Structure 1
């Protein structure tokens, strides 16, 4: 009987510790950068021995599949208003999950290809600013 109680206590303690870690990660989640996501994804893949499957082609195809799942959330809804005022919380949560799936595959793909995604995105914004300059405010 004592062994069973000890096992239950250990299980409860482990669950409480996992919940605490989850809360800490959730609190810091809004501040995570691309390099940190890349590190977490790399650790995740290594722990599961998935690196062998993470070729650029496989990651790209997986990301495209996730974009398809994301697209399904908007299918048949017509024009969706900014802020998703007409969506319930479950729909918004599902949207967040699908957006995260696309982001995570994109980060992993860029890492496997040796592309610094943050740097590439910053350079692209500068390039787009030169290509599409903001309208002049001289007339205002």
Structure 2
């Protein structure tokens, strides 16, 4: 294990896989190659991907469903639950990236534009 992984693990964080050198486009290419190798592209329509994204987000919610706010804040302290959370986060992100790829959406640009709009809609100390 690398020193940075070990220090992150001791600090309470988890880094299940390697992330050095990864970016959104690289992950989208990897997901597309994975689907193509299995002839799954035919199923990766916007409707199907949106539905799959919703299902995976619901599976993430299910982990937290009956936890108190305090328990939910400590969920990553339990290795079993932490692994489930990470798996569901990965599933949500995978389907979101595939959805964006199919529709030609630049996810990071869309997020940046949304933050810009929200800053205009919700100015600091604007409504108090």
TM over 0.5: yes
* SS of residue paired to 2:92: helix
- 1:80-111 CA-to-partner distances (Å, cap 9, x unmatched) read 46752674111111101001101110110011
1:8 corresponds in structure 2 to none
The structural deviation recorded for 1:30 is 5.5
User: Closer, same or farther in 2 for the Cα pair 1:43/1:80, shift >3 Å?
Assistant: farther
Unaligned 5+ residue runs, structure 1? 1-24
2:54 aligns with 64
- 2:17 is matched with 26
The RMSD of aligned alpha carbons is 2.2
Corresponding residue for residue 119 of structure 1? 109
Q: How many residues align?
A: 111
Which residue of structure 2 aligns with residue 128 of structure 1? 118
Alignment TM-score, normalising by the size of structure 1: 0.71
2:100–2:106 Cα contact (<8 Å) kept: yes
Which has the higher Rg, Structure 1 or Structure 2? 1
Instruction: Verify: 1:77 aligned to 2:70, yes or no.
Output: no
Over 3 Å counting, the alpha-carbon distance change for 1:83 and 1:51 in structure 2 is same
Does the alignment pair 1:42 with 2:32? yes
